[in-house]
Structure 1
Amino acid sequence: MPAHAPLIEHFLLAARSSEIRTLDQLAQSCQLVTSACELIHELQRERGISNIYLASGGKRFGTEREQQRKRSDTAERHFHDYLRHVQEGDSRLWGSASLFHRIARVLLQLEDLPELRKGIGDQTLDTATSTEAWSGLIAGLLAIIFEAADIATDSEISQALVALFHFLQAKEHTGQERAWGSVGFATGRFDPELQARLQHLRDSQQRCLDVFIRFGGESERAKWSEIEASSGTAELVRLRWIVDGFDPASPIPAGISEIWFAVATERIDRMRDVEQQLSASLLAMAQSRLEQARKALQENRSRLQAEPDAESEPVSPLSLLLESSEGKSASLSPSGSVRALYDLLQEQAEHLQQMSDQLEEARSALTERKLIERAKGILMQYQGLTEEQAYRRLRESAMQANCRLVAVAEKVLGAVEGSVPGRASPGSH
């Protein structure tokens, strides 16, 4: 028996206990994500309805707007109820300073909702201002989910959060396409700037969906394939052709705006089904991982408390270390106290290494997103480009250089930040 066996046992079990605490807090974060998802969906729908209402001068979707406001209010109340649950100490939310800051910022943005709705009702806002206001609020909610994914320390949960976040982001781009397309169809015209914006939103949807397909579950991917092959998607494609081939000499009848909204809404509602399935899988996974960790802790305690086998020969720590380094099995009788300690150490090391490898894969997708967003921001700041133009510039550069978009983003960041004294390079973050 090692002289410090009780101390070794304490920290072996403490490692498992720490994992349980982390998983418990992560499960609470998953609850936050689910609540945010509900609110995002309702606000996306209200944004589209508001655009048609504004573009039609208040002649269309007045009743629908009032009905949707009530749905959004219900989702907002659920979101607030969960956060009060956390505030009152009934649960411990896993988070960072950045996550809590994001939550506070969204709560402040929600305070401005009545004023936004009044401006829409009074027709004192234009569609562009309204859309930007709604999109800013939704972006804040999506940032909460991004932060939850970015700080998740369990590999399975992290991958599930990455899949969910990117699917939600794809759905948000689809929602923005619905909102801006509603403006064009309601006014009967699509200028080049609006056409470019809609094309950018389509490209952004696909980019996010590619990440979702990489990390999403098999059933969720299959459900998405069904949506892509549906008649509703085919109808959406036909309406997109109208947008791309718009001729100013042939105005589009304003009534088509309602057809556009219905077709785009059907797609978004079906995406909501996939989103809910992803959320349910995430919650179930968090609970399952928590139960597994608790079971593993109990098994570890049992193995460490087991009485040594009197007939077994004592095993020295040195022989166990040599055996492990040579890759030989360390699965002899667990009744020996030394054997139990070293077996558990080796099993935990392998468990942590596997989690680390899978976690790195999931976080790479989030890191790439951060780099691309920062590169777009730099192009917008220093070259006066819009977001769509900045993204198009990055994409064209990637195609010309035959490399990935993230590689171009890294070059942009390196060129700008490397030339500013005191600024760190992108890879140092």
Structure 2
Amino acid sequence: MDRIDGQQPCFDSFQALGSPATVQLFRTQCHAGLDIEQLRRIACTRQPAADGGETALRWFGLQTQRLEQLREVEEQLIDDLLDATDALLADDAPAWQAGEEDDSVTPRLDKQLLPLVRQQAYELQQLSSQLASLKDALEERKLIEKAKSLLMTHQGMQEEQAWQTLRKMAMDKNQRMVEIARALLMVKAIWPLTPKE
């Protein structure tokens, strides 16, 4: 909830300072949709769903798509800002070249806009990186769960026993558990095993 509360003032500032075209682009492409809001409420009020990570993958997919859309808006803002700056410099160049100074010229770009854009770009990059690592971790966890299930089915092990077996194999071979799990699943794909009776 803190992140939601922290983001909203940034979005409000953007909507107050942005050009009508970019604000409209933001409203049509980047607002959290119904799916995201439903999943956010679930995440804030319940324990993780026991669906093998499907809800989490759906959440990551939706959020990744939203981050990409926010990145498009950010790039449009940067282009607009550069165009506006170039136009201001071009307008003022004749006066500078003639040695004239006009004290009545007021800056048309809010000084807070560029730091805000930079901060949002940094935060979006951080979130993208976190999403990627969490997605990788979730995929690794799913592989380990599948390998554990394979041991339980084909070797008649209990869940804890299968977990300890995978762990011991990883330690003995000085490899990560996910690498052992991946190897077991590859062997199963090559040689279909019959369950132990």
TM-score between the two structures when normalised by the length of structure 1:
0.26
TM-score between the two structures when normalised by the length of structure 2:
0.49
